[in-house]
């Protein structure tokens, strides 16, 4: 059964920008190659961690929102656990309320971006 999920993962700060982009593309391709559909992808950039992980105090945060068969989640999490570039991750199955909130948040973000570009043009 196809459900909607959200995965946030933190990549180690020792990676270069190109390595971060390559890692993100790798996981996006894994999801789409296994019958998944990407709904949203956000790069939150480098952020300070609440507590040190592997003696590091920062990390590259990324969020994926996607639809995929529930049986694939376990395989994806095993790959994330084995990847040395990934310090932490969290996958959540979204219910109808979370999906509605996520869509509303994306729309609000898109509207604010549109307003910014309109101000720059003026």
Rounded CA-CA distance 72/31 in Å is 8
Q: Mean pLDDT for the chain?
A: 91
C-alpha 36: how far from chain center: 14
* Edge-to-edge strands, sheet with 86-93: 37-53, 56-69, 2-11, 86-93
Rounded CA-CA distance 87/2 in Å is 27
Rounded average pLDDT over 87-101: 93
Rounded CA-CA distance 50/98 in Å is 24
> According to the model, what pLDDT value does residue 32 have?
92
Q: Quick one: which of 36, 38, 28 has its CA closest to 79?
A: 28
The phi, psi pair for 99, rounded to 5°, reads -65, -45
Which domains, and CATH codes, for the chain? 2-121 (3.30.70.60)
- Could you read off the pLDDT of 24-63 as tens digits, one per residue? 999 999 999 988 999 999 999 999 999 999 999 999 999 9
């Amino acid at each position: 059964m196809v459900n909607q999920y959200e995965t946030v993962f933190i990549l180690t700060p020792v990676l270069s920008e190109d390595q971060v982009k390559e890692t993100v593309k790798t996981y996006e391709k894994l999801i789409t190659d296994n019958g998944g559909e990407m709904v949203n992808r956000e790069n939150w950039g480098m952020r300070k961690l609440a507590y040190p992980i592997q003696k590091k105090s920062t990390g590259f945060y990324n969020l994926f929102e996607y639809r995929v068969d529930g049986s694939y989640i376990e395989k994806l999490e095993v790959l994330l656990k084995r990847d040395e570039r990934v310090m932490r991750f969290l996958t959540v199955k979204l219910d109808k309320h979370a999906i509605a909130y996520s869509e509303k948040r994306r729309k609000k973000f898109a509207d604010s971006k549109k307003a910014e570009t309109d101000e720059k043009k003026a």
